Amino acid sequence: MPRHPMQHAATLAAIAACSIAGANTTEKVSRAEDREAVAVTIYNDSLALVKETRQIAFDKGANAIALRDVSAKMRPETASLRAVSGGSLRLMEQNFDFDLLTPQKLLDKYVGRSVTVIKTHPTTGAETREQAEVLATNGGVVLKYADRIETGVPGRIAYGAIPANLRDRPTLVVQLDSANAGRQAAELSYLTGGLSWRADYVAELSGDESRLDLAGWVTLTNQSGASYEKARLQLVAGDVNRVRDELRTKEFAMAARAAAPAADMAREQLFEYHLYSLNRPTTILDNQTKQVALLAAAAVPVRKEYRAEGQDWYYRGQQADLGRANKVAVFVEFDNKGGGLGQPLPKGIVRVYKKDSRGNALFIGEDRIDHTAKNDVVRLKLGDAFDVKATRKQTSFRKLGNNVYESAYSIELSNAKDSAVTVKVVEPVAGDWEMVSESQRHTKPEARSAVWLVDVPADGKTTLSYTVRTRF
């Protein structure tokens, strides 16, 4: 459990004494209205660091402070309360009460205890009251009266009090010792689940498909069970290493110290990640999805690619079932530089639209991108071409020696469009290989890949033929 550095000087006897005193101390409640400042740093994978400053009235000596309106998905082992003004605070014990008050929970807590059963006469309206002991609540209610045992609830149940550990909302209860009496500012910080963010991008492709306009949004989702009014918002983009679902202490400490730059959504380097900060306060309500503008870029040059890709198992033996038509994938790509870009792009989904002849923007595909550094290429698969097909055949196969094979293939590319296209044919050739013959010269971008750029005329066909020798 997190402790203030001053605690290390406390002896076991002092801790025990303060704990006993705290047990008899009247609980003081701190609510959301006591917040003076809130800062929320959200990571990609449903994890956030919450820091808030509250004005709290302390007694000198032992205090029991109930901090309400905290996240229901708080990780209590990460919670820390420290003084930022006034005297020092010495924390002794923390309890996170997340068992929330409901009629069923209240009834469950009264198993083995007495309740009052109130019945109303159906005609006269007269009420009668009778004491009963709650024996069980599993699959129904079992009540023990003075002369009988009944199941079910024949009327209303009245309870004497609410159990101490049953709260109407998540509450962090802190037992501490204060050096001074009076109101002072205290900072509460903790890690929590239930807060997440992602980047969403909307792109509109130009009529000639040579450029696109790109808008980036940050989509925040709050399912933590708490709201954060007028919070200073920071977002960390990057794949942060986590051990047992916890972020390393060093990285959280760095995130906690980072200041919000002046731009609307400014960016700075944070360790090996990128930190985005909103310079204005924003309210993140519980069970709310919020979008904040991230970037905008106009007329970004794009490249369109038709891609027919094979499989490495084609080259491991004689294949009889390659004659069917294969789909040709359609990609667009652009460079992350210039024109409003040239900054790290957080991972997210890019949705692409294009206007029809009437000017209506229609959805034409989407793809997920990983965290992308500046000057890197953003590559999006939008779907499969309707009018461009590839039909692959193995025309021969023979064994030349021990683990040496020679096979020949033909790939017929057909184009039913009104304009010519270039298809990138990518063949992942297995083993140690060499090209024996080919109808068009290939390139070898990597050890196990042969690539051809094949021009296919409008409403026409082009056949690529090649023979490859492989050694396994």
* Residue 196: alpha-carbon gap to chain centroid: 4
For the chain, the average pLDDT equals 87
| Record: fold of 103-158 | SH3 type barrels. (2.30.30)
DSSP 75-124: EEEEEEEEESSSS-EEEEEEEEE--B--HHHHHHHTBTSEEEEEEE-TTT
Which tens digit of pLDDT belongs to each residue from 285-301? 999 999 999 889 999 99
Neighbours of 229 (CB within 10 A): 15
Contact 219, 199 (CB under 8 A): yes
Burial category of 424 from C-beta neighbours within 10 Å (exposed 0-12, middle 13-18, buried 19 and up): middle
* Residue 423: alpha-carbon gap to chain centroid: 37
Residue 31 confidence (pLDDT) above 90: yes
In this prediction, residue 24 carries a pLDDT of 53
Contact 199, 366 (CB under 8 A): no
| 33-47, 65-79, 156-170, 250-264, range with the lowest pLDDT | 250-264
CATH, domain 304-332+380-471, list 3.40.50, 1.10.287, 2.60.40, 1.10.3470: 2.60.40
Cβ-proximal residues to 20 (8 Å cutoff; 6+ apart), any chain: none
Contact 416, 387 (CB under 8 A): yes
Residue 209 confidence (pLDDT) above 90: yes
Which tens digit of pLDDT belongs to each residue from 131-142? 999 999 988 999
Burial category of 171 from C-beta neighbours within 10 Å (exposed 0-12, middle 13-18, buried 19 and up): buried
Residue 265 confidence (pLDDT) above 80: no
More reliable by pLDDT, 389 or 255: 389
In this prediction, residue 323 carries a pLDDT of 60
Which tens digit of pLDDT belongs to each residue from 142-183? 999 999 999 988 789 999 998 877 888 889 999 999 999 999
In this prediction, residue 111 carries a pLDDT of 95
In this prediction, residue 299 carries a pLDDT of 94
Residue 68 confidence (pLDDT) above 90: yes
- How open is the CA angle 339-341-347, to the nearest 5 degrees? 155
More reliable by pLDDT, 260 or 90: 90
Sorting pLDDT into bands at 50, 70 and 90, what band is 259? very low
Q: How far apart are CA 84 and CA 324, in angstroms?
A: 72
Which tens digit of pLDDT belongs to each residue from 318-336? 887 676 668 899 999 999 9
Q: Which residue has the tokens 């084609």?
A: 314
More reliable by pLDDT, 146 or 260: 146
Which tens digit of pLDDT belongs to each residue from 341-350? 988 899 999 9
Which tens digit of pLDDT belongs to each residue from 13-29? 333 333 434 445 689 99
Give me the residues paired with residue 332 across strands. Answer: 304, 380
Contact 291, 197 (CB under 8 A): no
Residue 30 confidence (pLDDT) above 90: yes
Q: How far apart are CA 207 and CA 419, in angstroms?
A: 15
Which tens digit of pLDDT belongs to each residue from 397-451? 999 988 899 999 999 999 999 999 999 999 999 889 999 999 999 999 999 999 9
In this prediction, residue 1 carries a pLDDT of 42
Percent of the chain's residues with pLDDT above 90: 69
> Where are the chain's structural domains?
5-36+56-99+167-192, 103-158, 304-332+380-471
Sorting pLDDT into bands at 50, 70 and 90, what band is 227? very high
